Amino acid sequence: MSDIMRMIPFGSLMDWMLAEHEREGSILGIRKEKFYKNDSGRSIVVCGEEIASPIGPAAGPNSQLAQNIIAAYLAGARFIELKTVQIMDGEELRKAVAKPCINACDEGYNVEWSTELTVQEAFGEYVKAWFAMQVLAVELGISPKRDFAFNMSVGYDLKGIQSPKIDSFIEGLKDASSTDAWRECKGWLSENLDRFKRFKAAELDAIESRLCDSITLSTLHGCPPDEIERISRYLMNEKGLNVFVKCNPTLLGYETARDLLDRTGYGYMDFTDHHFKHDLQYGDGVEMLKRLQEYAGELGREFGVKLTNTFPVNIKNDELPGEEMYMSGRSLFPLTVTLATRLSREFDGSLQISYSGGADFFNIESLIRTGIQPISMATTILKPGGYERLKQIADRVEPLLDGPFRGVNVDALDELAKSALENPFHKKEARPVGSRKTDSRLPLFDCAKAPCQDGGCPINQQVPVYLRLVDEGRYDEAFETIAIDNSSPAVTGTICDHQCQHVCVRLDYEHPLEIREMKKVAVLKAQDSYTSKMKPAELKTKKRAAIIGAGPTGVGTAIFLRRNGMEAHVFEKRAEPYGIVKYAIPDFRIGSEMISRDYDMAVKAGVEFEFGEERSADELRKAYDYVVIATGAWGPGVCPVKEGGDKVLDALAFLQEHKERGGKVDLGETVAIIGGGDVAMDCARAARRTPGVKRAIIVYRRTRAFMPAEPEEIRLTLEDGVELIELLAPVNYDGSELVCERMRLGEKDESGRRGVVGIGEMVSVKADSVIGATGATVDQSPFKAAGIALDPKGRPVLNEENESSVANIYVAGDCKAGPATVVKGIADAKTVAKSILGKEGISPDFAVTELLRDLPSIYRKKGVLKEAVKEHTDGSRCLDCGEICEICCDVCPNRANVLIVVDGKHQILHLDGMCNECGNCGIFCPHTGDPYRDKVTLFWTEEDFEDSENTGFYRVEGDLYKVRREDGSTLSWRRGDPGVSGEMTGMLNEILDRYPYYVLNL
Please provide the average confidence, as pLDDT, over all residues in the chain: 96
CATH number at residue 605: 3.50.50.60
| CA 767 vs CA 151, 187, 692, 734: distances in Å | 63, 83, 13, 10
Q: Would the pLDDT of 28 be above 70?
A: yes
- Tell me, what's the pLDDT at 854? 87
Q: Within a domain: residue 27?
A: no
Do 497 and 423 belong to one domain? no
> How does residue 874 score in pLDDT terms, banded at 50, 70 and 90?
confident
Read off the pLDDT of residues 303-323 as tens digits, 9 standing for 90 and up: 999 999 999 999 988 999 999
> How does residue 690 score in pLDDT terms, banded at 50, 70 and 90?
very high
Whole-number Å distance between alpha carbons of 324 and 110: 9
Domain stops at, among 750, 772, 794: 772
Structurally, how many domains does the chain consist of? 5
> How does residue 800 score in pLDDT terms, banded at 50, 70 and 90?
very high
- Tell me, what's the pLDDT at 1? 60
| Phi-psi region at 871: left, alpha or beta (left = phi > 0; alpha = psi -120 to 50) | beta
> How does residue 747 score in pLDDT terms, banded at 50, 70 and 90?
confident
Q: Within a domain: residue 864?
A: yes
Of 168, 166, 192, 191, the closest CA to residue 180 belongs to 168
- Tell me, what's the pLDDT at 350? 98
> How does residue 288 score in pLDDT terms, banded at 50, 70 and 90?
very high
Q: Within a domain: residue 13?
A: no
Q: Which residues contact 957 (CB under 8 A, 6 or more apart)?
A: 1001
Q: Would the pLDDT of 872 be above 90?
A: no
Do 514 and 548 belong to one domain? no
Do 627 and 654 belong to one domain? no
Do 49 and 82 belong to one domain? yes
Do 177 and 278 belong to one domain? yes
Q: Would the pLDDT of 264 be above 90?
A: yes
Whole-number Å distance between alpha carbons of 340 and 359: 13
- Tell me, what's the pLDDT at 869? 75
Do 819 and 940 belong to one domain? no
Do 864 and 824 belong to one domain? no
Helix %, strand %, coil % of the chain (to 5): 40, 15, 40
| CA 234 vs CA 156, 284, 292, 297, 773: distances in Å | 14, 19, 11, 15, 67
Q: Within a domain: residue 639?
A: no
Read off the pLDDT of residues 820-836 as tens digits, 9 standing for 90 and up: 999 999 999 999 999 99
* Helix/strand number for the chain, H first, E second: 37, 36
CATH number at residue 129: 3.20.20.70
Listing DSSP states for 237-273 in one string gives HTS--EEEEEE-GGGG-HHHHHHHHHHTT-TT----S
Read off the pLDDT of residues 555-598 as tens digits, 9 standing for 90 and up: 999 999 999 999 999 999 999 999 999 999 999 999 999 999 99
Whole-number Å distance between alpha carbons of 263 and 423: 11
Burial (0-12, 13-18, 19+ Cβ within 10 Å), 867: exposed
The whole-number average pLDDT for the span 718-737 is: 97
- Tell me, what's the pLDDT at 375? 99
Sign of the four-CA dihedral 711, 749, 456, 900? positive
Do 332 and 480 belong to one domain? no
The whole-number average pLDDT for the span 696-710 is: 93
Of 719, 738, 583, the closest CA to residue 649 belongs to 738
- Tell me, what's the pLDDT at 399? 98
Whole-number Å distance between alpha carbons of 365 and 98: 36
Do 733 and 866 belong to one domain? no
Do 141 and 262 belong to one domain? yes
CA dihedral 257→258→260→266, nearest 10 degrees, is 120
Whole-number Å distance between alpha carbons of 911 and 914: 6
**Domain coverage including residue 661:** 645-772
Percent of the chain with pLDDT strictly greater than 90: 95
* Range of weakest confidence among 5-14, 704-713, 892-901: 704-713
Q: Would the pLDDT of 730 be above 90?
A: yes
Do 175 and 306 belong to one domain? yes
Of 251, 85, 82, the closest CA to residue 155 belongs to 85
Percent of the chain with pLDDT strictly greater than 70: 99
End-to-end CA distance of the chain: 16
Do 566 and 663 belong to one domain? no
Domain stops at, among 757, 772, 787: 772
Q: Within a domain: residue 443?
A: no
Q: Would the pLDDT of 988 be above 80?
A: yes
* Range of weakest confidence among 85-99, 177-191, 908-922: 85-99
Q: Within a domain: residue 123?
A: yes
Q: Within a domain: residue 168?
A: yes
How many CA within 13 A on the CB side of residue 933?
A: 15
Whole-number Å distance between alpha carbons of 166 and 159: 10
Q: Within a domain: residue 446?
A: no
Read off the pLDDT of residues 595-650 as tens digits, 9 standing for 90 and up: 999 999 999 999 999 999 999 999 999 999 999 999 999 999 999 999 999 999 99
Read off the pLDDT of residues 345-356 as tens digits, 9 standing for 90 and up: 999 999 999 999
Q: Would the pLDDT of 813 be above 70?
A: yes
